């Protein structure tokens, strides 16, 4: 009798684990990734006024952050938090001990003058993190002298169309997050040799910026074009061997239909995001990379037969996102059978 009870218990445990796996599989993880630099005006919290930020994780529960009630937030090198209601209040303060500074406009109408921002950067000699979000910044100021402390710079949802050549004076910069309609990068951008994380969103590039290939320490690189732009990236230079440290690569909202062979040289690459392009099949340089674990490939005009043949070359295990590809549920289910060691997420998978 005990023997039957043990067998029954083990069978029940097996069924329970299998059911849990199925339930977990049915909840697709977020499709987007967090920006390179988390805004400093956002702090962990659970207040009513919260902002949901999607994370690149298998968890279906978004992390919630609380938006600070004032537009300017700062932290000193001693860890003291400071808040300012307006820029005038900030400019009359001793900035020499500031470590983090963020400008955040929740509504419209907030703006910052380039000249005032220049003075702030010059006076905040110990500043390590600077974030300017939705503040209608149209011109980034000249950096007259080398700034040896600023490591993270986030410029989101402003009106920048260019960056000054003097941005190269931010010699300590390791992370740059820019969500602005930039048309190009200045040649001096190549001098930011310490840059490890780069995110350029809503850009208007018509060609991949060659300056990026001089940044050999890059481990994270995301480029996402402006949705409304009539001219988008159509190809990538075959020079990715110059970025040997890349672990995450994303080129979105472009018109890529193929990838250069040099991407196969990226031995550390484990995240590859090529959503919203013009691929008809899955690129071989990605299929044969055994280290990949996270691959959004949504919103591409995939053709069933070529795509079916291309995925048979896949050598990696992880998460594969195929939303908005036009396949039927039956076709998606067929893909999942072929890719039995990969979690495939697609439209209507919970129906």
Strand blocks (E) in the chain: 42-44, 50-53, 63-67, 72-76, 81-84, 98-104, 129-133, 152-156, 175-179, 197-203, 220-225, 248-252, 271-273, 294-296, 319-321, 343-345
Range(s) for CATH 3.80.10.10 in the chain?
242-351
The yes-or-no verdict on residue 13 having pLDDT over 60 is no
298-344 residue pLDDT tens = 999 999 999 999 999 999 999 999 999 999 999 999 999 999 999 99
The predicted model gives 54-67 an average pLDDT of 34
Sort 348 into a burial class: Cβ within 10 Å, 0-12 / 13-18 / 19+. exposed
The model scores a pTM over 0.75: yes
Q: CB under 8 Å to 5, separation ≥6 — which residues?
A: none
Q: CB under 8 Å to 227, separation ≥6 — which residues?
A: 253
With a pLDDT cut of 90, the percent of the chain lying above it is: 71
Sort 62 into a burial class: Cβ within 10 Å, 0-12 / 13-18 / 19+. middle
The pLDDT-based confidence of 350 (bands split at 50, 70, 90) is low
The pLDDT-based confidence of 171 (bands split at 50, 70, 90) is very high
Beta partners for residue 292, in sequence order: none
40-58 residue pLDDT tens = 323 333 222 222 223 333 3
pLDDT at 61: 32
CATH code of 242-351, in short, is 3.80.10.10
84-101 residue pLDDT tens = 988 888 989 999 999 999
Question: How far is C-alpha 300 from the chain's CA centre?
Answer: 19
pLDDT at 42: 30
The yes-or-no verdict on residue 161 having pLDDT over 80 is yes
Beta partners for residue 198, in sequence order: 176, 221
119-141 residue pLDDT tens = 999 999 999 999 999 888 999 99
């Amino acid at each position: 009798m005990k023997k039957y009870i043990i067998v029954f218990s083990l069978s029940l445990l097996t069924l329970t684990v299998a059911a849990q796996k199925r339930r977990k599989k049915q909840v697709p993880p977020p499709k987007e990734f967090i920006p390179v630099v988390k805004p400093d005006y956002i702090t962990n919290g659970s207040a009513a006024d919260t902002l949901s930020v999607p994370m690149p994780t298998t968890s279906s529960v978004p992390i919630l952050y609380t938006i600070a009630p004032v537009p300017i937030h700062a932290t000193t090198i001693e860890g003291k938090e400071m808040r300012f209601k307006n820029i005038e209040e900030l400019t009359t303060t001793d900035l020499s001990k500031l470590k983090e500074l963020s400008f955040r406009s929740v509504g419209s109408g907030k703006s910052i003058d380039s000249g005032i921002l220049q003075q702030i950067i010059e006076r905040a000699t110990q500043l390590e993190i600077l974030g300017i979000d939705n503040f209608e910044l149209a011109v980034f100021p000249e950096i007259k002298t080398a700034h040896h402390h600023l490591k993270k710079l986030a410029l989101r949802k402003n009106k920048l169309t260019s960056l000054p050549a003097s941005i190269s004076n931010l010699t300590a910069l390791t992370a740059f997050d820019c969500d602005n309609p930039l048309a190009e990068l200045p040649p001096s951008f190549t001098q930011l040799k310490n840059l490890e994380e780069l995110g350029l969103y809503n850009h208007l590039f018509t060609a991949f910026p060659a300056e990026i290939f001089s940044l050999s320490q890059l481990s994270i690189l995301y480029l996402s074009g402006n949705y409304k732009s009539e001219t988008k990236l159509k190809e990538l230079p075959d020079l990715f061997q110059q970025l040997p440290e890349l672990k995450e690569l994303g080129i979105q909202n472009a018109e890529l239909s193929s990838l250069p062979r040099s991407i196969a040289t990226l031995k550390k690459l484990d995240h590859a995001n090529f959503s919203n392009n013009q691929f008809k099949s899955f690129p071989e340089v990605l299929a044969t990379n055994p280290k990949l674990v996270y691959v959004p490939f949504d919103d591409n005009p995939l053709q069933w037969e070529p795509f079916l043949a291309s995925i048979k070359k896949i050598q990696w295990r992880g998460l594969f996102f195929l939303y908005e590809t036009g396949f039927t549920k039956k076709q998606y289910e067929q893909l999942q059978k072929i890719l039995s060691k990969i979690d495939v997420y697609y439209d209507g998978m919970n129906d």
